[in-house]
Amino acid sequence: MSVETSSPPEQGQLRANTIGLPGVLFQSITTMAPASAVSFSLGAAIPFTGSALPLAVIIALVVCCFIALSIGSLARHLPSAGGYFTYVSESIGFHVGWLTGWMFDLAYLLIVPFQLLVLGPVADSFVSSTFHLSLGWGVWAVIFAVIVFALTFFGIKLSADTGIVLGVIEIVVFTLLSIWLIATSNNNTLAVFNPASSLQSGLGGWQGVFFGMIFVLLAFAGFESSAPLAEEAKNPRRTVPRAIFLAALSIGIFYVFCSYAGVVGWGPAKIGTYGADSDPWGTMATRVWGPFHIIVILAILNSALGNANAGVNAASRMLYAMGRTRSLPPILAHLNKSSVPDVAIIFAMIVAVIFSLWPGFAYGPTTGFAFLGTVLTLPIILVYLATCVSVPFFYLRKHREEFNVLRHIVVPGIPFIILLFVLYFQFSPLPAAPLNLAGPIVGVWLVIGLIVIAVLSRRSPDALKASSKIYIEDAEV
């Protein structure tokens, strides 16, 4: 039974029926951070994809839409704040499910520090050039961390409504700029969809395309983030799958359009110089919009703020779900008066400040951004792979009467195979330092997760088994 009005929560429960499709949709969209992703994540792929960036984006769009359909197949039967933690537990087994949630935690705990490495330097540069006041990027990173904390600590409604406003602003600004760049360019060409345009010639250019896709997938990462809001959404069995697919499709098309605009706006012939500019989209905006390029800077700040806001929502709900089952410290399941997991949010923000300042000062904000982006994308890919595998198992075991070869084998199978290629090219050949540390870091995190599972299996097996419980059914009853 679904209720359309916000219901007061029971003790220890999230506030049900609080946000509708727009709020859930923009949770995913703002986690993707469209403007920030176009400016930085997609740009980080260009040293590998070269002017074939739009081709890599199209492949990622297809992959992510198929993943979104696969997630939707599970979400409509398993509406839970645990998201992938619950999906995989119900499909393959609670040991693999817990490990999937563990990998999701790593990725989403790094989203906020990842965006603080955008917010801090961009804000400092903007204030320094406009008002001749330099506080340092680290100070601005901490200021934005406080803002994100305030947006997420006082209720999901405030956070979701803020996400809608921030998401609309950034999409409108970058769509207009992309139209302007394409209309004024003399470099419009279909060669950007040819792998031979890659800056790495191996395998006919495909090596560069697939290696660069780690950053393209980083731009897409987040379309799945509305899944953990299921217990706070209206009609979650319908709303969450729709939101996830619409986010992947709509922002994916936006990325294709903007990536084409960025390549032809910069010029395919000189694309090798793209990475030398710390703010290439600001440079292109200055060229075509003159003093109004400030709008683009504000849109990037807006985008990164929206992404950090949404990232805390998703990470804190996953920590809440795992704390609720006592497979992580139960204090993480504590809720404040606004029915949000306050301890999980505080923990996420402490991690955010530490892991933005540390790599930012150790490697510089730009390299630190690429480093954190690589680290968080690898576990996200593993979560996607586990989700794709879960679909056929879930329907064959739990809903055999609904099983369909096309929807439950072919649709999840295609992104699974492509993602294996993407993973392979992250390690062959290894990237330069510090990006070559990403694999070992994720590997250590995985080993720690396996150790925790072994301990829980001996001391608290019921905590692991509880990962497949669908708490929203309790609330509906």
Contact 24, 240 (CB under 8 A): yes
Q: Say whether pTM exceeds 0.85.
A: no
How many distinct helices (H) and strands (E) make up the chain? 20, 0
| Distance separating alpha carbons of residues 117 and 109, to the nearest angstrom | 14
Average the pLDDT over 294-323 and give the result.
83
Contact 34, 170 (CB under 8 A): yes
The pLDDT of residue 7 is 41
Angle ∠(42,48,53) on CA atoms, nearest 5: 45
Domain range annotation of the chain = 21-476
Angle ∠(449,421,27) on CA atoms, nearest 5: 60
| Distance separating alpha carbons of residues 208 and 51, to the nearest angstrom | 11
The pLDDT of residue 9 is 42
- Residues ≥6 apart with Cβ < 8 Å to 67: 224, 248, 384, 387, 388, 412, 415
Round the average pLDDT of the chain to a whole number and report it.
86
Please report which confidence band the pLDDT of residue 386 belongs to, taking 50, 70 and 90 as the band edges: very high
Average the pLDDT over 450-461 and give the result.
89
| Distance separating alpha carbons of residues 317 and 83, to the nearest angstrom | 9
pLDDT reading at 464 higher than 60: yes
The pLDDT of residue 439 is 92
The pLDDT of residue 160 is 62
| Distance separating alpha carbons of residues 297 and 36, to the nearest angstrom | 10
Domain 21-476 annotated CATH 1.20.1740.10: yes
The pLDDT of residue 471 is 45
Residue 205 gets the label, from left (phi > 0), alpha (psi -120 to 50) or beta, of: left
Identify the H or E element spanning 303: helix 294-324
Residue 235 gets the label, from left (phi > 0), alpha (psi -120 to 50) or beta, of: left
Residue 233 three-state SS: strand
The pLDDT of residue 310 is 77
Contact 218, 36 (CB under 8 A): no
Average the pLDDT over 230-241 and give the result.
83
The pLDDT of residue 12 is 53
The pLDDT of residue 459 is 86
Average the pLDDT over 95-105 and give the result.
89
More confident position, 80 or 206: 206
Angle ∠(261,264,265) on CA atoms, nearest 5: 70
| Distance separating alpha carbons of residues 56 and 215, to the nearest angstrom | 10
pLDDT tens digit sequence for 101-151: 899 889 989 988 988 998 899 899 888 888 888 899 999 999 999 998 988
Please report which confidence band the pLDDT of residue 475 belongs to, taking 50, 70 and 90 as the band edges: very low
**Which range has the worst mean pLDDT, 73-87, 135-149, 407-421?**
73-87
- Residues ≥6 apart with Cβ < 8 Å to 277: 283
The pLDDT of residue 116 is 92
**Which range has the worst mean pLDDT, 156-165, 172-181, 233-242, 243-252?**
156-165
Please report which confidence band the pLDDT of residue 477 belongs to, taking 50, 70 and 90 as the band edges: very low
The pLDDT of residue 469 is 56
DSSP single-letter state for residue 381: H
The pLDDT of residue 468 is 53
Contact 413, 407 (CB under 8 A): no
pLDDT tens digit sequence for 44-57: 899 889 999 999 99
Instruction: With both helix axes pointing from N to C terminus, report the angle between 156-184 and 21-32 in degrees, rounded to the nearest 10.
Output: 60
Provide the percentage of residues in the chain whose pLDDT is more than 90. 44
Contact 77, 423 (CB under 8 A): no
- Residues ≥6 apart with Cβ < 8 Å to 203: none
pLDDT tens digit sequence for 430-454: 788 898 999 999 999 999 999 999 9
**Which range has the worst mean pLDDT, 46-55, 111-120, 415-424, 462-471?**
462-471
